[in-house]
């Protein structure tokens, strides 16, 4: 479990460092250093076990049903990367302390850096490929934040966007590839995937998965043709470049190649894709690097070139090539990080990175110059430095491959040419910056960097030297270990030596060094030639592509989404039409097996009235009052239908809701125009009629098909248990408050939410108050007719009594909380209509929000009450009591629940109508015409 702490501590460190804004810079740095140091100690503590040959694993269940775990694993390869990530991370944190100016936010950089560190640790230690991918994307996001750290600079924003688009896009390809791998293997567990080489490579989807995974790796590692984001990412602060573009971010792609090497490598297509991509990248990067005047630009293309070299090594079909690749990962990280840091010092102390201005820095900063020169020599592959060793191995391996068949001899030649360019740009870095005459109008007077700013570089350069001189002593162990976990077998016998005797690789090195120096001295001609080529501006091209993609999708979106709700609705209805209509055409017969019942006269009349009402609503829909009257006929007939077809509860509910709805709509008509202007063209009306009839026909047919078929229902259970289990004879009510009480609880909550939403919409309503109706007739002067007032007043107690009765008997006979609540609400609304809200406010203090809340609370508490008796939520209880004079009565806890329903319904209904009605009460009448 110690394993889980390594990424976790790093994540906590990210949080911790973001809170150090108030502290001094040194304190902030010190606090930030805690997390990586602790994590590094943990890793060192775990190292002996890994060296003993055991991969350490730690797993937490996450979503077991989806085969998703939080799962970490530390093997040799992961350990190597963990050391690099944490070690170089610590150096970068120290370095950044001196690099950032007073104006830059230190906690911000540190928090992002630590987040990035977490993501990298997650990638290298994940034992689940989905989890690996999540961390992979996290590196894209955190590197976006890091590159755009100086967000006020346009190139920083553009560079960050480009990096995110390329690496994020590659990440999506990787996800697809990993999902395919998971599909092929049947598990997302990395251990299992790595052990399923045969299965994966014989599967028909192998090529697809491979290409997708490689896309992820190549975009991240800036391989040609995705390399162009890396130079633009140099807009980041130099510590960020030193970290991301030497040891971590770009190495994530390389890590992916190494990680999946056991499962994916070994086939023809792997070797062709990986080695050729690597070769092209190696050459392109080395060539372009020479022409960059910006120091960081040079280093960026050099990085691209070295990444190509490592990729090429993974694509060579020998075990030693893999060892060389891993060795070069280490070496490149050390010399490139130190070079970036040295560049940062030069930039920091002179104010420029332009090699045409920087000359003769040796005199001003001899110490930094020495460090930078050693690192640059390592980059060039000069003997006694670590870069030389891995480059020798690389040259040796290029001689042992058969990639291009009879043309395989080309690869060593091309490798030597790339090596020569590498020497040339390293020579340029050293000579142009530190010698080559005097500086040309520098923005600052150059001087040596602060003492501790150089410490990280000193450590890294020392590593370059130690590894270069005593390779077997320093790196042999970790190299064996890491190669072993990449190859999946015992690594081959290898012996890294400084002196192998006079052999071909040494000759290649010599040619590269001499050739490189020659290229450098004769660079004038090359520069002239390069200047004569048409310029390629990757940024412009990228932005143009992005722009056209965005424009294209915006056009497409606005073509579909034109802002007309009518249109959206019509499209949705068409979809309904197709999806609901299609199955009907596949059905052989509409009518089912049930015995049809004949139409009797009552039903016929009822249906006729309903149809007249519905058609009338449509015909007179522009005269809104008439339409309202028509629709009320429909509502009434619906409630009659419920009565007719054995649903008394529904009939009562429908009737009361109908009353409330019509009152509400009449109130609404006060605020809305009373007439609808004629707008639709005849064609449009015809079209809508067509859609409407088609949907009507389809729904009617489905309904007919449904009700003429026999029914198998689960309701027998409810009927059988209503009395014995729920203590009531009205099965509908028992279902509501007992069997399906949880549903009902949800429903009254929805009711409460709707009422509160309405309340929020009504308060602060900028009111439109017509003083007369649309034809200019003033409203009736007598607002509260006397007759209505006196009758309604006497009706109130009666109505309350009725509702109380309906409520009480609900459990056994038609009635219950919903209906009783509506009846009570109607009784109160009648008072509002008859007397106005001021009259009510004088007599009752009703806070409807509190009423709704208490209703829901009562229902909830009655449900929670069952916990006190050790029963599940909403278990009901009932018993019979014999009370003198009244007789035997039944008390049920469901009644309390129903009381909650009752109170909520009363509160919500009154809130809706009273809030709207209240608006009309006090406002003076104004003439507004719209």
472 forms part of the interface with other proteins (CB under 8 A): no
Q: Which residue's CB is nearer to other proteins, number 63 or number 615?
A: 615
> With CB under 8 A as the contact rule, which of the stretches 153-161, 322-330, 643-651, 889-897 interacts with other proteins?
643-651
* Given 167, 624, 803, 827, the residue binding other proteins (CB under 8 A): 624
587 forms part of the interface with other proteins (CB under 8 A): no
Per the listing, tokens 């090359």 go with 526
Could you write out the DSSP letters of every residue in 711-724?
---THHHHHHHHHH
Q: Which residue's CB is nearer to other proteins, number 476 or number 747?
A: 747
Q: Which residue's CB is nearer to other proteins, number 339 or number 894?
A: 894
* Given 905, 906, 910, 914, the residue binding other proteins (CB under 8 A): 905
Q: Which residue's CB is nearer to other proteins, number 443 or number 710?
A: 710
**Minimum CB distance to other proteins, residue 541 (Å):** 41
- Report 813-852 residues binding other proteins (CB under 8 A): 813-814, 818, 822
**Minimum CB distance to other proteins, residue 768 (Å):** 5
CA distances to 126, 129, 214, 538, 808 from 135, in Å: 9, 10, 17, 28, 60
- Report 797-816 residues binding other proteins (CB under 8 A): 812-814
- Whether the CB-CB separation of 37 and 29 falls below 8 Å is answered with no
Helix (H) or strand (E) segment spanning residue 891: strand 887-892
* Given 118, 167, 617, 837, the residue binding other proteins (CB under 8 A): 617
- Count other C-beta atoms under 10 Å from residue 491's C-beta: 20
- Whether the CB-CB separation of 486 and 258 falls below 8 Å is answered with yes
* Given 90, 113, 912, 914, the residue binding other proteins (CB under 8 A): 912
* Given 12, 134, 641, 853, the residue binding other proteins (CB under 8 A): 641
> With CB under 8 A as the contact rule, which of the stretches 198-206, 331-339, 385-393, 648-656 interacts with other proteins?
648-656
- Report 549-568 residues binding other proteins (CB under 8 A): 563-566
* Given 732, 827, 840, 895, the residue binding other proteins (CB under 8 A): 732
Q: Which two tokens stand for residue 299?
A: 């280093």
> With CB under 8 A as the contact rule, which of the stretches 124-132, 624-632, 781-789, 838-846 interacts with other proteins?
624-632
Size of residue set near other proteins by CB under 8 A: 113
**Minimum CB distance to other proteins, residue 604 (Å):** 7
What is the rounded CA–CA span in Å between residue 113 and residue 236? 12
- Report 479-538 residues binding other proteins (CB under 8 A): none
* Given 42, 459, 665, 802, the residue binding other proteins (CB under 8 A): 665
Q: Which residue's CB is nearer to other proteins, number 93 or number 829?
A: 829
326 forms part of the interface with other proteins (CB under 8 A): no
Q: Which residue's CB is nearer to other proteins, number 516 or number 726?
A: 726
What is the rounded CA–CA span in Å between residue 525 and residue 513? 19
What is the rounded CA–CA span in Å between residue 826 and residue 796? 10
- Whether the CB-CB separation of 27 and 84 falls below 8 Å is answered with no
Return all residues near 234 (Cβ < 8 A) that are at least 6 apart.
159, 241, 245, 294, 296, 297, 299, 300
863 forms part of the interface with other proteins (CB under 8 A): no
| HEC-encoded secondary structure of 322-373 | HHHHHHHHHHHHHHHHHHHHHHHHHHHHHCCCECCCCCCHHHCCHHHHHHHH
> With CB under 8 A as the contact rule, which of the stretches 145-153, 235-243, 633-641, 789-797 interacts with other proteins?
633-641
**Minimum CB distance to other proteins, residue 765 (Å):** 6
**Minimum CB distance to other proteins, residue 801 (Å):** 22
Q: Which residue's CB is nearer to other proteins, number 407 or number 601?
A: 601
> With CB under 8 A as the contact rule, which of the stretches 36-44, 87-95, 399-407, 737-745 interacts with other proteins?
737-745
- Report 666-725 residues binding other proteins (CB under 8 A): 668-669, 671-673, 676-677, 679-680, 688-689, 691-693, 695-697, 699-701, 703-704, 706-708, 711, 713-715, 718-719, 722-723
Q: Which two tokens stand for residue 639?
A: 């409630």
**Minimum CB distance to other proteins, residue 625 (Å):** 10
638 forms part of the interface with other proteins (CB under 8 A): yes
Q: Which residue's CB is nearer to other proteins, number 70 or number 860?
A: 860
- Count other C-beta atoms under 10 Å from residue 717's C-beta: 11
Largest CA distance in the chain: 121
Q: Which residue's CB is nearer to other proteins, number 530 or number 623?
A: 623
Residue spans of beta strands (DSSP E) within 809-862:
none
**Minimum CB distance to other proteins, residue 566 (Å):** 6
* Given 108, 500, 621, 918, the residue binding other proteins (CB under 8 A): 621
* Given 43, 124, 735, 914, the residue binding other proteins (CB under 8 A): 735
Reduced to 3 states, what is the DSSP secondary structure of residue 729? coil
| HEC-encoded secondary structure of 88-154 | HHHHHHHHHHHHCCCCCCHHHHHHHHHHHHHHHHHHHHECEHHHHHHHHHHHHHHHHHHHCCCCCCH
757 forms part of the interface with other proteins (CB under 8 A): yes
**Minimum CB distance to other proteins, residue 619 (Å):** 10
Reduced to 3 states, what is the DSSP secondary structure of residue 47? helix
Q: Which residue's CB is nearer to other proteins, number 44 or number 720?
A: 720
* Given 215, 453, 482, 634, the residue binding other proteins (CB under 8 A): 634
> With CB under 8 A as the contact rule, which of the stretches 208-216, 480-488, 518-526, 740-748 interacts with other proteins?
740-748
Q: Which residue's CB is nearer to other proteins, number 519 or number 652?
A: 652
920 forms part of the interface with other proteins (CB under 8 A): no
Q: Between the CA atoms of 526, 531, 534 and 535, what dihedral angle is there, to the nearest 10 degrees?
A: 110
What is the rounded CA–CA span in Å between residue 784 and residue 790? 10
575 forms part of the interface with other proteins (CB under 8 A): no
225 forms part of the interface with other proteins (CB under 8 A): no
What is the rounded CA–CA span in Å between residue 132 and residue 216? 12
Q: C-alpha angle with apex 860: 858 to 861, nearest 5 degrees?
A: 65
903 forms part of the interface with other proteins (CB under 8 A): no
Q: Which two tokens stand for residue 139?
A: 């590196």
Long-range CB contacts (within 8 A, 24+) of 123-126: 123/252, 123/255, 124/77, 124/78, 124/81, 124/82, 124/85, 124/255, 125/3, 125/6, 125/7, 125/72, 125/73, 125/74, 125/78, 125/82, 126/71, 126/72, 126/73, 126/190
860 forms part of the interface with other proteins (CB under 8 A): no
- Whether the CB-CB separation of 305 and 289 falls below 8 Å is answered with yes
**Minimum CB distance to other proteins, residue 775 (Å):** 17
Q: Which two tokens stand for residue 106?
A: 């230190």
**Minimum CB distance to other proteins, residue 598 (Å):** 6
Helix axis angle for 76-99 and 476-487, nearest 10°, is 120
Q: Which residue's CB is nearer to other proteins, number 503 or number 685?
A: 685
755 forms part of the interface with other proteins (CB under 8 A): yes
- Whether the CB-CB separation of 396 and 318 falls below 8 Å is answered with no
């Amino acid at each position: 479990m110690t394993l889980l702490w390594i990424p976790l501590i790093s994540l906590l460190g990210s949080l911790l460092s973001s809170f150090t804004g108030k502290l001094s810079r040194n304190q902030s740095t010190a606090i930030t250093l805690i997390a990586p140091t602790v994590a590094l100690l943990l890793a060192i503590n775990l190292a002996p076990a890994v060296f003993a040959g055991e991969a350490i694993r730690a797993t937490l269940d996450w979503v077991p049903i989806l085969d998703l775990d939080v799962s970490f694993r530390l093997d040799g390869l992961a350990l190597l990367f963990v050391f690099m990530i944490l070690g170089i991370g610590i150096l970068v944190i120290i370095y950044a302390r001196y690099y950032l100016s007073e104006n830059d936010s230190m906690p911000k950089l540190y928090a992002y850096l630590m987040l990035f560190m977490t993501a990298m640790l997650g990638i290298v230690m994940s034992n689940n490929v989905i989890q690996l991918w999540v961390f992979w994307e996290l590196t894209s996001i955190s590197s976006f934040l890091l590159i755009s750290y100086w967000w006020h600079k346009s190139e920083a924003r553009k560079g960050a966007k480009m990096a995110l688009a390329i690496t994020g896009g590659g990440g999506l390809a990787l996800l697809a590839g990993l999902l395919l791998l998971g599909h092929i293997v049947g598990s997302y567990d990395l251990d299992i995937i790595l052990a399923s080489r045969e299965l994966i490579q014989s599967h028909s989807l192998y090529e697809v998965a491979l290409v997708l995974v490689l896309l992820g790796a190549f975009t991240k590692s800036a391989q040609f043709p995705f390399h162009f984001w890396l130079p633009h990412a140099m807009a980041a602060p130099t510590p960020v470049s030193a970290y991301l573009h030497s040891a971590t971010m770009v190495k994530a792609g390389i890590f992916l190649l190494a990680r999946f090497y056991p499962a994916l490598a070994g086939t023809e297509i792997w070797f062709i894709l990986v080695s050729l991509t690597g070769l092209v990248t190696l050459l392109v990067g080395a060539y372009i690097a020479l022409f960059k005047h910006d120091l960081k630009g040079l280093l960026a293309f050099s990085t691209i070139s070295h990444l190509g070299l490592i990729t090429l090594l993974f694509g060579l079909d020998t075990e030693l090539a893999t060892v060389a690749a891993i060795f070069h990962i280490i070496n490149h990280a050390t010399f490139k990080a130190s070079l970036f840091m040295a560049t940062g010092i030069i930039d920091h102390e002179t104010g420029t990175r332009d090699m045409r201005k920087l000359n003769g820095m040796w005199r001003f900063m001899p110490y930094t110059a020495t460090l930078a020169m050693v690192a640059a020599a390592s980059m060039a592959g000069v003997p006694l430095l670590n870069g030389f060793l891995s480059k020798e191995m690389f040259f040796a391996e290029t001689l042992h491959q058969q990639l291009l068949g009879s043309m395989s001899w080309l690869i060593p030649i091309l490798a030597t040419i790339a090596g020569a360019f590498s020497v040339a740009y390293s020579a340029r870095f050293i000579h142009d910056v530190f010698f080559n005459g005097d500086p040309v109008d520098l923005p600052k007077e150059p001087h040596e960097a602060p003492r501790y700013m150089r410490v990280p570089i000193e450590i890294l350069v020392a590593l370059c030297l130690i590894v270069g001189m005593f390779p077997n002593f320093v790196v042999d162990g970790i190299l064996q270990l890491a190669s072993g976990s990449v190859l999946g077998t015992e690594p081959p016998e290898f012996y890294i030596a400084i002196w192998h005797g006079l052999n071909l690789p040494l000759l290649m090195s010599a040619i590269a060094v001499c050739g490189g120096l020659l290229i450098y001295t004769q660079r004038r001609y090359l520069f002239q030639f390069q200047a004569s080529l048409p310029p390629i501006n990757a940024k412009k091209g990228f932005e143009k592509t992005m722009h056209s993609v965005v424009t294209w999708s915006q056009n497409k979106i606005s073509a579909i989404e034109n802002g007309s709700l009518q249109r959206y609705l019509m499209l949705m209805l068409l979809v309904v039409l197709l999806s609901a209509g299609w199955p009907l055409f596949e059905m052989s017969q509409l009518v089912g097996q049930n015995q049809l019942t004949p139409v009797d006269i009552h039903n016929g009349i009822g249906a006729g009235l309903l149809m007249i009402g519905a058609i009338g609503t449509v015909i007179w829909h522009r005269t809104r009052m008439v339409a309202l009257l028509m629709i009320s006929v429909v509502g009434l007939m619906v409630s009659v239908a419920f009565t007719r077809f054995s649903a008394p509860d529904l009939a009562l509910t429908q009737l009361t809701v109908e009353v409330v709805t019509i009152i509400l709509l009449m109130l609404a008509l006060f605020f809305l125009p009373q007439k609808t202007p004629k707008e639709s063209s005849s064609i449009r009306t015809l079209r809508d009629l067509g859609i409407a009839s088609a949907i009507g026909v389809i729904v009617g047919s489905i309904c007919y098909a449904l009700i003429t078929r026999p029914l198998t229902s689960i309701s027998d259970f409810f009927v059988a248990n209503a009395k014995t289990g729920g203590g009531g004879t009205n099965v509908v009510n028992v279902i509501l408050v007992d069997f399906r009480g949880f549903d009902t609880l949800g429903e009254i909550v929805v009711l409460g939410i709707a009422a509160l939403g309405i309340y929020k919409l009504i308060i602060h309503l900028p009111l439109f108050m017509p003083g007369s109706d649309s034809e200019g007739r003033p409203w009736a002067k007598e607002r509260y007719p006397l007759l209505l007032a006196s009758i309604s007043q006497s009706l109130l107690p009666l109505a309350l009594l009725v509702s109380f009765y309906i409520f009480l008997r609900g459990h056994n006979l038609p009635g219950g909380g919903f209906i009783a609540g509506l009846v009570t609400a109607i009784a109160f609304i009648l008072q509002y209509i008859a007397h106005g809200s001021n009259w009510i406010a004088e007599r009752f203090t009703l806070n409807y929000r509190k009423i709704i809340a208490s209703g829901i609370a009562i229902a909830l508490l009655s449900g929670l009450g069952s916990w006190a008796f050790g029963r599940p939520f909403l278990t009901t209880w009932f018993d019979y009591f014999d009370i003198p004079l009244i007789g035997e009565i039944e008390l049920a806890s469901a009644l309390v629940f129903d009381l909650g329903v009752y109170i909520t319904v009363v509160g919500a209904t009154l809130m809706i109508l009273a809030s709207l009605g209240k608006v009309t009460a006090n406002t003076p009448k104004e003439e507004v015409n719209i």
